[in-house]
Amino acid sequence: MLVVYIVLDPAREALFAERAATRAPPTYCARVEAMGSPAARARTMAGLWLLEQGLALLDLPSDRIEGLGFGAGGRPQFADGPSFSISHSGRLVACAVDAEGVIGLDVEQRRDGISPRLRRWVAPDGDFFAAWCAREAAVKASGRVGLARIRATTIDGAFACLDGHRWHLLPLSLAPGYAACLATARTVAPAAIECVDAGDRLSRARAG
């Protein structure tokens, strides 16, 4: 299992914001073209670029991304695998890829301004952002997202329970100031997850 990520400083963000929409998979081109926010465009293009890097690092054809489509619930997916999940928050963009099972990934920038009521509901005695990432990762892995789905998710130690299914939770440490979590359908040892900072790959490829 592989997680690739990048922190978008202003220069990197500009590179991805200016990347031609035609570099995205055909199913994404119109969506990218319609984005009025350069920041949103940059994060979308960075996530797709990270997916390409993940495929290459797993020795899977990177041109497979051209066949990227959407499932019944609107989840981006490949018809014949591998499973992947893209998440971004603040300046951190990350993508998890797994050729052996369904996964969900969530990252969250730690910040002030979370309401006391929301904190009590999500993590009354613990780390709000870690708990939120765990819930969100499980919801993403399930293939159907939404606030109601997050509310329906319960955390039981190293598992998240949703729709009668138990998802294995794997907290990640990717960048200072951020929480991150993977939800998987199978048992995975934390040591088996390879986390790669893709910044050096971007320096060589210049986002192209």
> Which CATH number does the domain housing residue 136 bear?
3.90.470.20
- pLDDT confidence bin for 139, thresholds 50/70/90: very high
Q: How many distinct structural domains can be found in the chain?
A: 1
pLDDT for position 95: 98
Is residue 207 assigned to a domain?
Answer: no
Is residue 206 assigned to a domain?
Answer: no
As a whole-number percent, the residues of the chain with pLDDT over 70 amount to 98
- pLDDT winner (highest mean) among 59-73, 104-118, 189-203: 104-118
Is residue 179 assigned to a domain?
Answer: yes
Is residue 205 assigned to a domain?
Answer: no
Domain containing 128 equals 2-199
Residue 143, pLDDT > 90, answer: no
Is residue 159 assigned to a domain?
Answer: yes
Is residue 208 assigned to a domain?
Answer: no
User: What is the C-alpha to C-alpha distance for residues 43 and 45, in angstroms, rounded to an integer?
Assistant: 5
pLDDT for position 205: 60
Q: Half-sphere exposure (CA, 13 Å, Cβ side) for 54? A: 29
User: What is the C-alpha to C-alpha distance for residues 85 and 27, in angstroms, rounded to an integer?
Assistant: 16
pTM: 0.92
Is residue 84 assigned to a domain?
Answer: yes
Is residue 110 assigned to a domain?
Answer: yes
